[in-house]
Amino acid sequence: MRRKTYLDEINTNIYDIKNKDNYEYKAKKGLSKEIIEEISKQKNEVQWMRDFRLKALEMYNKLELPTWGPSLDELDMSEIATYVRPKGNMTNNWDDVPEDIKSTFDALGIPEAEKRSLAGVGAQYDSEVVYHSMKDELIKQGVIYTDMETALRDYEDIVKEHFMKCVPISDHKFVALHGAVWSGGSFVYVPKGVDVKIPLQSYFRLNSPESGQFEHTLIIVDEGARLHFIEGCSAPKYNKINLHAGCVELFVKKNAYLRYSTIENWSKNMLNLNTKKAIVEENGQIDWVTGSFGSKISMLYPMSILNGKGAKTEFTGISFAGKGQNLDTGFKVVHNAPNTSSVVNSKSISKNGGIATYRSLVQIMPRAKNSKCSVSCESLMLDSLSKSDTIPVNDIRTEEVEFSHEAKIGKISDKTIFYLMSRGLSEEEAKSMIVRGFAYPISKELPVEYAVEMNNLINLELEGSIG
């Protein structure tokens, strides 16, 4: 009887640190006008934001759940607390962060990474940002990097001009939910011509059980400026469902460049229904680098809207769906101006009953003459318990276009294993090398610490022969 080689589930030990649910304020479970008003009151918000939240709640109640994708039947909003304020106030000194929270971020390596390779860090715990700091030279150059609550207070006009304009609350039900209960997140403004050479990173940690995290990230990269922003997220595993419905709005102005990298490793009880969108102006560029490893269910499709002539986008993403996971991920791009271009490179691995779906939209509008789009997606299935689907929609509305899409699905080639073994590698080493090689086009786009982390996440347990 032939035996198969099995890959380990991703090791989540570091991410699984559970602290006592030690909050200063926790909203009642469920969703109602009173709860929304109370969240807004707790945050001492301006009236227009309070009104906005209530309008979003109305929209949430009107919109239907998606009729496609993974089933969200498990989600019961009456069992979710949408706002949990941890103890302590936001600080720019790790020593002032409450000990249990600090030790969690220490274990996740955030303060160490800040010292080593980041220009600024934001750390959110449950619904509020507990730490935010940025290097002085960037402050001197006029870069703003702070939490959304501070931004709403100190830069109200900019926030009002941009908040949920890129992602309107009518987009879908969970964006509307986000609009009603958002809390925390990061605000970044990079002034004209400023090149932020070292990345900024925000890390989102959800500790409280039966709760949701709804952080809002708003980034404006002004004309000719450059930024690399990294987002990390994790949570310990509980028996009941947690919800993440964040929202990321990115504005990339003329000739600006933004790279947005995400390593998502939510716990396996998390429903990750996040929304990310970028509007790119003339000759601007947004690059997305995404690794999706965690969550029970993910529905995540970052979107680039190429509104200016010559705007560009690249999407490089990998997802790894293990036992009990249904990761429905992909990318959307709208070419809405001449000479725009997009390149999509997506990979997925599914094993041990995991479901990995690539879902996408490429839309090339009539005015997008001389635009180019190239899409490539590959899926690797490591056993027949798993499932891997590719569901791409391509909508071409002009003649002057070069568009191509290709996808492949399959298993690790026996011939490749044989070839590597004939060069002296053991079967285990050969298989390990192939899986890492499969992921390499993505990992090489990540900062080195994250690439190492990703390789650790794809941890091989090697036994037996290839099935």
Partner 1 sequence: MNMLKLNETPLRTARNFKINNIKLENVEIPKKIEKFDNVNIINDNNNVSIKNIKNDVNIKYGVGEILINQINEKSNVNLEINIMGKNNENIILNFELDSKNKNLIDNINIVAKENSISNVIIKYTSKDDEVFHNGICNVIAEKNSKINITIVNLINDVSNNFYTINNIIKEDASVNYRIIDFGGKNSISNYYSNISDRASNNVDTIYIGDKEKVLDINYIAELYGKASKINMNVEGALNDYAKKNFKGTIDFKSGCAKSIGSETEYCILLSDNVRAKSLPMLLCGEEDVEGEHSAAAGKVDAKQLFYIMSRGFSYNDALKLIIRARFNKVIKKLDEDLKNIIIEEIDRRLK
What residues make contact with partner 1 under the rule CB under 8 A? 66-69, 359, 361, 366, 379, 381-384, 386-411, 467
Q: Which of 130, 350, 121 is nearest to 232 (CA)?
A: 121
The residue among 453, 114, 15 whose CA lies nearest residue 262 is 453
Q: Which two tokens stand for residue 74?
A: 């498990």
Residues 6+ apart with CB under 8 A from 396: 362, 364, 403
Phi, psi torsion values for 100, nearest 5 degrees:
-65, -35
Q: What's the closest the beta carbon of residue 310 comes to partner 1, in angstroms? A: 19
CB of 265 to partner 1, least distance (A): 25
Closest CA to 396 of 371, 378, 418: 371
Shortest distance in whole angstroms from residue 378 CB to partner 1: 10
Tokens 């993974």, residue located: 70
How near is the Cβ of 382 to partner 1 at its closest, in Å? Answer: 7
Name the residue among 229, 163, 227, 234 with its Cα closest to residue 202.
229
| Smaller CB separation from partner 1, 230 or 334 | 334
Q: How far is the CB of 168 from partner 1 (least distance, A)?
A: 13
Residue 439: closest CA among 458, 425, 424, 466: 458
DSSP, collapsed to helix, strand or coil, labels residue 428 as helix
Q: Which is nearer to partner 1, 51 or 402 (CB)?
A: 402
- Considering the complex, what minimum distance in angstroms separates the CB of residue 293 from partner 1? 20
What is the C-alpha R_g of the chain? 22
Nearest CB to partner 1, comparing residues 205 and 277: 277
Q: How far is the CB of 398 from partner 1 (least distance, A)?
A: 6
Cα–Cα distances (Å) from 320 to 326, 351, 386, 432, in that order, read 10, 8, 11, 15
**For residues 118 and 344, which CB has a smaller minimum distance to partner 1 in the complex?**
344
Please give the full DSSP string across 139-180, using - where no structure is assigned: HHTT-EEEEHHHHHHHSHHHHHHHTTTSS-TTS-HHHHHHHH
CA distance 178 to 218: 14
Question: Residue 366 CB, nearest distance to partner 1 (Å)?
Answer: 7
Q: Which is closer to partner 1, CB of 415 or CB of 423? A: 415
Do 249 and 274 meet the contact criterion of CB atoms below 8 Å apart? Answer: no
The least CB distance from residue 186 to partner 1, in Å, is: 28
Q: How far is Cα 312 from Cα 331, in angstroms, rounded to an integer?
A: 14
* Phi, psi (rounded to 5 degrees) for 300: -145, 115
